[in-house]
Amino acid sequence: MHKEDCFYLGKIVRKHSFKGEVVAKLDTDEPELYQNLESVFIALGNNLVPFFIEKSLLQKGNQLRIQFEDILTEADADAILGSELYLPLEFLPKLTGNKFYFHEIIGFDIEDVHNGYVGEITGVNDSSAQPLFEINANGIEIFIPMIDDFIKKVDRDNNKIIVEAPEGLIDLYLNQ
């Protein structure tokens, strides 16, 4: 299994007991969807290694206490402490309407209600306060904030997102 075939679920943040239990902080708005997993992939070095779950318990919102098979001591738990957890992409719940996963929209076209076709989404910049669509418009890089009010329609059938960007934003990039 490769990271590009998976999504980031969370990170093992601390040990819970001397019997190898660990606590993972889940990076999700719906942690209850992941409380009864049979296994996860743990990033060890450059590899994703499958680990089977004996038992797990959701606690404190998005923290999942996990007892893995074959992780039976504090030393075993130390070996995976700080590791990232991954699941295959097919485990992601299907989104509908104007909700989408960032990885899902790479390669979609962006169309503006006023300007028409803008370009192709090449990435999502989520390192700023507001995530941004990164768009290639014939070699010119355009950034449009991913604000719900701007996103008018996500058309999965045609791999297209229709937006209503603030007046002048797209022209700002194209008229340089």
What is d(CA 25, CA 92) in angstroms, rounded to the nearest whole number?
17
Q: Give the H or E element holding residue 74.
A: helix 74-80
Site of tokens 């719906």: 30
Tokens for 82? Answer: 């700080």
pLDDT digits (tens, 9 = 90+) for 65-106: 999 999 999 999 999 999 999 999 988 888 888 988 888 899
Domains and CATH numbers, the chain: 3-90 (2.40.30.60), 102-174 (2.30.30.240)
What pLDDT is attached to residue 39? 96
Tell which residue, 96, 131, 138, has the closest CA to residue 117.
138
Is-contact 168 112, C-beta < 8 A? no
What pLDDT is attached to residue 17? 87
What pLDDT is attached to residue 4? 85
Is-contact 133 144, C-beta < 8 A? yes
pTM of the model: 0.70
Residue 53 CB coordination number (10 Å): 16
What is d(CA 168, CA 170) in angstroms, rounded to the nearest whole number?
6
What is d(CA 148, CA 164) in angstroms, rounded to the nearest whole number?
10
What pLDDT is attached to residue 29? 80
What pLDDT is attached to residue 169? 94
What pLDDT is attached to residue 93? 82
What is d(CA 30, CA 10) in angstroms, rounded to the nearest whole number?
12
In the chain, which residues have pLDDT < 70? none
**154 φ, ψ to 5°?**
-105, 110
